[in-house]
Amino acid sequence: MSSSKGQRGKRNADISKEDVELFRKAMRGVQPLVRALPEPAVRKAAPKAKFSRRDQRAVLEESLQPNIDWSEAGSGDALRFERPSVGRRTMRKLSRGGFSVQAEIDLHGLTAAEANAALRQFIEEAVVRGWSCVRIIHGKGRGSGQGGPILKRKVDSWLRQWSPVLAFVSARQVDGGTGAVYVLLNTA
């Protein structure tokens, strides 16, 4: 005897024969309803701020590490710019990597003309998409010879001229240090 028959037999033992006959008589002629089961409700997952959590974790980890890239320390080649409308707190938050970076562009290996076109297009797209903070990787210019970091100086100059750029600062070491900048954009 299979386990399902055994269970059925057990259940039927608790029901009197009269109740079973009464039930069968009441159900005589009854047809089961044929209907499609409703589609299961699709639950939309709650949005998770994955990048901001990752950024916050990186800030914490960086703050606990005493290691300093001595090639950057005190070199004075960090970039910084802010429009008069940008407050000190905002600049402090930007320089500490406190804004979630929504996109980035890497300009390594491009000529100045290519970098200008790519960066201009990237900034325009960022404004259209409503991104308020982006990262630009321009490199440290160590391969530029005695002329110094050409692309870095160009990026500094271009960003100052473009009106959507509210502020920029050299990135934290974990995000490229003086080879990258965080850029705060006016998306209004």
Domain containing residue 160: CATH number: 3.30.1370.110
- Average pLDDT value for the chain: 79
Residue 149: predicted pLDDT: 73
Residue 51 has pLDDT above 80, yes or no: no
Residue 17 has pLDDT above 60, yes or no: yes
Q: Say if residue 12 is in the same domain as residue 97.
A: no
* CA distance to 102, 131, 146, per residue, from 49 (Å): 11, 15, 43
Is position 155 within any domain?
Answer: yes
Q: How far apart are CA 35 and CA 91, in angstroms?
A: 62
Residue 90 has pLDDT above 80, yes or no: yes
Nearest to 135 by CA among 78, 182, 95, 80: 182
Is position 40 within any domain?
Answer: no
Is position 59 within any domain?
Answer: no
Residue 47: predicted pLDDT: 61
Residue 43 has pLDDT above 80, yes or no: no
Q: How far apart are CA 61 and CA 65, in angstroms?
A: 7
Q: How confident is the model at residue 77 (pLDDT cuts 50, 70, 90)?
A: confident
Residue 75 has pLDDT above 80, yes or no: no
| pLDDT > 90: percent of the chain | 45
Counted domains in the chain = 2
Q: How confident is the model at residue 188 (pLDDT cuts 50, 70, 90)?
A: confident
pLDDT tens digits for range 129-179: 999 999 999 888 666 656 567 888 899 999 999 999 999 999 999 988 989
Residue-number span of the structural domain to which 13 is assigned = 1-31
Q: Say if residue 145 is in the same domain as residue 86.
A: yes
Is position 179 within any domain?
Answer: yes
Residue 69 has pLDDT above 50, yes or no: no
HEC string of 8-65 equals HHHHHHCCCHHHHHHHHHHHCCCCCCCCCCCCCCCCCCCCCCHHHHHHHHHHHHHHHC
